[in-house]
Amino acid sequence: MIESKHFSSIYLPALWDGLYLYKENQKRLYKNRNLYRSNATPINFDTFSREGILTFTVEPKLVEELKIELNKHIGYDMDSVLIDEPEARHYVTFSECDPKIKILHDRILAQLDVINIAKQYCKTPNVRISGFKLRIQEADSEFKQNLFKDVGYKVPTTNYMHIDSSFRRSQIKMVFYLNKVTASNGPFRYVRGSHKIKDPIWRKISRRVNHKNGYQAWDAAGRERFMKLPKFLRHKAEFGNDLLPENKYHKILMDEEVTVTSKDGNFVLFDNAGIHRGGLIETGRRISLQWSMEAV
């Protein structure tokens, strides 16, 4: 009896408080969950949902302003600097640089309305901007080119086609060209609609695991190790290097792939769950900003 009284007088009200708070929290959670729905649908949202990619043109004046500030930050002129390696990469942390960079960045994203597209697409009340980096890349005869040199095979025309290993609709990526990009200096390419390809769960998991633990390597030892996996686990995130030209998907992928040059725009927004590639530079230099919006 004593125990029962004790239980009813102390624990029940506490339990009730808990339920009450839970209900309040639940209301708050639901309110936040619906935040993305309260925004008007961005003008390009349907195209992005259907194709998995959007291209925009940021006005040249704004591009130049941003380049001036970035040049000050990195300490040299990105267009004329001589680089020793095929790539010079700078991760830019907004809190550590002149606030003008963040202001220009925010202005560009707001003009294109890409944050709202990302929020609605990822069904999230907010997004986190991450991995903001400047890449200066030049022709590299080795990059994804001589993977099968030891056995006398050339890479196929689908080489470097890949899918990123983040979870579906958890991340949207951006590429912003800061110089003129043509077909020969590493344009970004994307297979339209490929973000909708449905994979069985074991394929999704094995693709990610093989990517993250190095099982998709193309050197002789790596290939041998990969072929020792059971057949149903032999999947690669970067599958384009292994696709034989006679494979029935080869033509479909090549036909559906779009190549984004400066003529199409200088800013690319894409769902990285779709098939993409870029930076295969034959001649010249490509200067770009690359970063992502992640669901919070």
Is 164 near Fe ion (CB under 5 A)? yes
- Shortest distance, position 188 Cβ to Fe ion, whole Å: 10
- Shortest distance, position 162 Cβ to Fe ion, whole Å: 6
Of 69 and 238, which CB lies nearer to Fe ion in the complex structure? 238
- The whole-angstrom separation of Cα 211 and Cα 217 is 8
- The whole-angstrom separation of Cα 55 and Cα 114 is 11
Closest CA to 61 of 104, 98, 91: 104
Of 69 and 271, which CB lies nearer to Fe ion in the complex structure? 271
∠ CA(8), CA(11), CA(12), 5° rounding? 60
* Contact call for residues 207 and 162 (beta carbons, < 8 A): no
Q: Output the six-digit token pair for 11.
A: 């624990």
Q: Which position's Cβ is nearest Fe ion?
A: 164
Of 164 and 271, which CB lies nearer to Fe ion in the complex structure? 164
Helix axes 99-112, 60-74, angle to 10 degrees: 150
Is 238 near Fe ion (CB under 5 A)? no
Is 69 near Fe ion (CB under 5 A)? no
Compose the 108-147 pattern: x for residues touching Fe ion by CB under 5 A, - for all others: ----------------------------------------
Instruction: Select from 61-69, 123-131, 143-151, 161-169 the region that touches Fe ion (CB under 5 A).
Output: 161-169
At residue 47, φ and ψ (nearest 5 deg) are -60, -45
* Contact positions vs Fe ion (CB under 5 A): 164
